[in-house]
Amino acid sequence: MKRIRIYGCTNKPNLKNQIRSASECFIQCLIPLKKKYDITITLYKNLLAEEEAYGECWCENKNSFCLRIEKEMEMETIIKTLAHEFVHLKQFAKGELKFLNKHNMWNGRVFCHSSNYNNTPWEKEATEFENLLFESWKQTL
């Protein structure tokens, strides 16, 4: 089963189509061999105010992922944020990143929850690849 569900933009069909198109591109770039996935993407108003984040990604199980993206941004910023979160999805899908109760694991290395988030290797990788993924997607249009 391969499923991408998108919520929070029913009154913006063009945005929903762009998110679907970008998501399919990011999957092809990051996890092309994955045969099963269930991805839920929700555009969420006030995510930045409530969570101090433009986007979030978490893994429910090895094939099921949830992404939340701040809704109140320009389309380009939404897609770049989506690209960033898809890098995290790849990290979870390949077992590179695990968020655990007492600590986080990156490729077998333990990181405290109190680690400077922007300096963690998984954030550095996501930041490094978000623009590359965005540009790859733009080439498909």
pLDDT given for residue 125 in this prediction: 97
d(CA 44, CA 72): 8
Candidate from 59-63, 75-79, 84-88, 131-135 with smallest mean pLDDT? 59-63
pLDDT in tens, 93-137: 999 999 988 899 999 999 987 778 788 999 999 999 999 999 999
Per domain, the residue ranges of the chain are 2-140
Domain 2-140 fold is Collagenase (Catalytic Domain) (3.40.390)
Calculate the dihedral angle through the C-alpha atoms of 71, 122, 60, 54, rounding to the nearest 10 degrees: -10
> Which residue's entry shows tokens 């989506």?
82
d(CA 48, CA 45): 8
CB atoms within 10 A of CB 121: 15
Q: How confident is the model at residue 37 (pLDDT cuts 50, 70, 90)?
A: very high
CA quadruple 58, 39, 20, 135: dihedral sign:
positive
Most distant pair of Cα atoms in the chain: their distance = 44
Q: What is the mean pLDDT of residues 81-103?
A: 95
3-state secondary structure of 71: coil
Q: Which helix (H) or strand (E) holds 69?
A: strand 64-70
The pTM of the full predicted model, rounded to 2 decimals, is: 0.95
Q: What is the mean pLDDT of residues 25-45?
A: 96
User: For the chain, what percent of residues have pLDDT higher than 70?
Assistant: 100
Q: What is the mean pLDDT of residues 30-38?
A: 95
pLDDT given for residue 139 in this prediction: 96
